[in-house]
Amino acid sequence: MSNHYHLVVKLNPAESDAWDQNTVLQRWLTLHKGPVLVQRYVAGESMGKAERDTVSDIIDVWRKRLTDLSCFMKCLNEPIARSANKEDNCTGHFWEARFKSQALLTEEALLSCMAYVDLNPVRANMADTPEDSAHTRIKERIAPAFDLAKAIHDQSLNNDFELLIKPLAVFDEGIKDTEQTGILYSLSDYLQLVDWTGRIIREDKRGAISGELPPILRRLNIPIDQWLVNSQQFEAIVHRRFRKTA
């Protein structure tokens, strides 16, 4: 958007427990140069026990930071601030305040937030339809255009490591064993749901859209009126709604 952005991310802190030290180093050094001691370690130079122990301690800190939301936001916002400061010939933070976060603990909360974010440009009159909006996940799913090689070049990322870049979360992947690995809806249903919701909310089209519930809403047993409130006023109601009950 013109003055803010929204992200829907899945956190899995336990994932880093399975990473060996080399994996942690690859991930961290893709974005950061690292201290001289770590650079020597990566280069395979001979090191004493005390030096190797220090490197291990540094890697343990990085392991935690790689799955920490605050660290992620810091890495995301710093390049924006540097670019803006260079353009305006000044220093300091770019954003007015610290980011806000909200845990999405139910399927209803996740679905409502995803639709809220994908429809932001439409509601702000920056786009006529979701597929015409810029910088949204829904447009990328409809017409993939992300160029990883260009992104690495533009951001001056270290591409010396064979590191897999995670794609968008997969629809319909379902649950494997006891862990949710994807989004428990079909992409087709989600696209229809976003389009239906956007048309209902827009005043100039409110009377032209059928009131028939999309399949996902029927499956989740979410009433139409409640869904409209969820998707239109998500930020205002999220703190008093969507709490996980025992």
Among residues 70, 62, 16, 17, the alpha carbon closest in space to that of 35 is found at 62
Check whether 177 has a pLDDT greater than 90. no
Which pLDDT band, with edges at 50, 70 and 90, does 25 fall under? very high
Please name the residues in contact with 188: beta carbons below 8 A apart, sequence gap of 6 or more: none
Extract the tokens encoding 29: 């050094």
Extract the tokens encoding 89: 């010939």
Amino acid of residue 68: D
- Residue 96 is predicted with a pLDDT of 82
Contact 9, 69 (CB under 8 A): yes
Report how far residue 216's alpha carbon sits from residue 114's, in angstroms, rounded to the nearest whole number.
14
Residue indicated by tokens 């690495």: 152
Check whether 82 has a pLDDT greater than 50. yes
For residues 31 and 165, the model is more confident at 31
Q: In DSSP terms, which residues pair with 180 in a beta bridge?
A: 175
Which pLDDT band, with edges at 50, 70 and 90, does 144 fall under? confident
The residue ranges of every structural domain in the chain are: 13-67, 107-146+169-237
- Residue 205 is predicted with a pLDDT of 43
Report how far residue 230's alpha carbon sits from residue 212's, in angstroms, rounded to the nearest whole number.
18
Report how far residue 32's alpha carbon sits from residue 27's, in angstroms, rounded to the nearest whole number.
9
C-alpha to C-alpha distances, 184 to 11, 43, 70, 108, 117, nearest whole angstrom? 17, 44, 27, 11, 18
For residues 195 and 112, the model is more confident at 112
